[in-house]
Chains A and B, each alone.
Chain A
Amino acid sequence: MKPLNEVIAACPPSGIRRFFDIAAEMDDVISLGVGEPDFVTPWRIREAGIYALEHGYTTYTSNAGLPALRMLICSDLQQRYSAEYEWDTECLITTGVSEGLDLALRVLLNPGDEVIVPEPCYVAYEPCVAFAGGTTVRVPTRWEDRFTVDVDVVAAAITPRTKAILIGSPANPTGAVQPRETLQALARLAEKHDLYLISDEIYDRLTYNGSHTCLGAIPEARDRTIVLGGFSKAQAMTGWRVGWICAPQAIAELCVRVHQYTMLCAPHVSQLAAVEALTSAETDVSEMVADYDRRRRVFVKGLREIGLECPEPDGAFYAFPSIRSSGLDSETFAERLLKEQGVAVVPGNVFGPSGEGHVRCSYATALPQLETAVDRMAAFLQNL
């Protein structure tokens, strides 16, 4: 038979998959390997979803999504971050940031265009760039800098083919939050070299030391930035598959064009649940954020006490400790920790070369489990 698509065939499967397979076979596993909240969606949101089903909101919506939801998203961005977007021309609803990322890259890239991606980063960035016909140019971030982006390193990676810079902040897997000054410097750099910016802000609400900066609120960035956001993390709505894109009109229009042919619209029920999330679930969100913060403090302290250096994770729900003191590489550490002590973590190298020497631990796990996991990790380190 004729060969399948060579770009897709050449894309390696996610390094996370192997650990999933091992963990799935084992009993008594405490998983710190989960990239989603341990909370279920707040009941008032689920109840709104049930109501929507009950009343037959089972149809398509307009391609761009429910006006009510887009209005709420834009006014939320305005109030929270002073980012100004027109709901009817600059905002569309996607099936999560995953689709948003795909749309953004497809709309921006021509074959051979380069996208600069600071790593370690979310596992989907590089494959999505490749699927959109582009080439990823990784730039390292260092844990000594708490994984903040060094703008000079980014500048040095710019070539005539560079089209965009893609960043996620707060970040999966490092928990790093890019400071406002860094984002401003990136915006100026993008302006100088006429580059687009893609800003994955799915973890925007999960910051613990100071607040999030929306890239779309930085004046130099506003007209060249695609902001991606959603409801999966803060509102614990991963399975609903609902997110959004805010971008200048010319970009948003093309995003809608791809979306209307490939997705048509985000699920109607999920959009209505998202309306409820923005209308009445603020208390639930703050309580969940406060809870993550408390677990974060306990967990990071625990990791440090058992001898793992851990840069302060300022956002998301991941700690990204260094495991270099163990003398093992990330893959070996994670595999042995899982097999010997039944604690699942994700090796840092699957998020990029700069993640080597680290493991990603999600603290979206009940506190007693986190405490047991730390005890088991201590036992693992002692038996090395």
Chain B
Amino acid sequence: MREILELLERDSSLSHDTIATMLGLPVEEVSARIAEWEASGVIRRYKAVVNWEAVDDAIAREKVVAFIDVSVAPARGVGFDDVALRISRFDEVTSVHLVSGGHDLRCTVVGRDIRAVSDFVSQRLSTIDRVMSTATHFVLKTHKRDGDVFAEPEPDHRLRVTP
């Protein structure tokens, strides 16, 4: 069953029929499982991995991503969870992790431009209660994300017909 999830994680556009054939399972079983996972929240949603830097449209491409490390004063009973949740609720924030190391939370923030991200950090994020400090790292170039290397794929170097 784990294989179904692995296949979907790699290519969510696979049809239930194809998955069933690939794994030698009845299609009804595959559909039922996927429906269960969708209902229970194991499968959150289906989406595409977009390399925005490759989009041939200056406006569409304009997007700034930053990693923000946040130090938080923990509170009795909730630790960092309540602050993490407050940060997570902003649409600008695309990921929030509790991490080990010098800071407590590592967040990803996406904005229209550097100004938008800076404003968000200084006015929204830093001002949340118990946020002690932030460190902002702007992304200059993305080489790989979610398992996809954003380099030009190599052509197929094989000869067309070989023994």
Contacts and interface: CB of A to CB of B under 8 A. Distances in A.
B22 A20 contact: no
Chain B binding surface SS class: loop
Interface stretch (A3-11, A29-37, A85-93, A274-282): A29-37
Interface residues of A, number: 28
Contact of A294 (B23, B154, B160): B23
Contact of B161 (A19, A124, A172): A19
B15 to A, nearest CB: 10
A344 interface: yes
A48 to B, nearest CB: 19
Interface in A141-172: 172
Contact of A344 (B21, B22, B154, B161): B161
Interface in B69-98: none
Interface centre among B21, B23, B154, B161 (most CB of A within 10 A): B161
A40 interface: yes
Contacts of A14: 163
B161 A20 contact: yes
A298 B161 contact: no
Contact of A16 (B7, B154, B163): B163
A47 interface: no
Given A36-B158, A38-B156, A38-B158, A298 B21 contact: yes
A25 B156 CA distance: 16
B127 interface: no
A130 interface: no
A298 B158 CA distance: 23
A172 B163 CA distance: 9
A297 B24 contact: yes
A34 B160 CA distance: 6
B163 A298 contact: no
B60 interface: no
A24 B159 CA distance: 8
A57 interface: no
Nearest to A31: B160
Given A297-B21, A297-B24, A298-B21, A16 B162 contact: yes
A13 to B, nearest CB: 12
A297 B160 contact: no
A294 B24 CA distance: 8
Contact of B160 (A33, A38, A40, A124): A33
Nearest to B154: A40
Interface in B1-36: 3, 7, 18, 21-24
A131 interface: no
12 contacts: A16-B163, A20-B162, A23-B160, A29-B160, A33-B161, A34-B161, A123-B163, A290-B3, A294-B7, A297-B22, A298-B21, A346-B161
Given A16-B161, A34-B162, 7 more contacts: A33-B160, A124-B163, A294-B7, A295-B22, A297-B22, A298-B21, A344-B161
Interface of B: 3, 7, 18, 21-24, 154, 156, 158-163
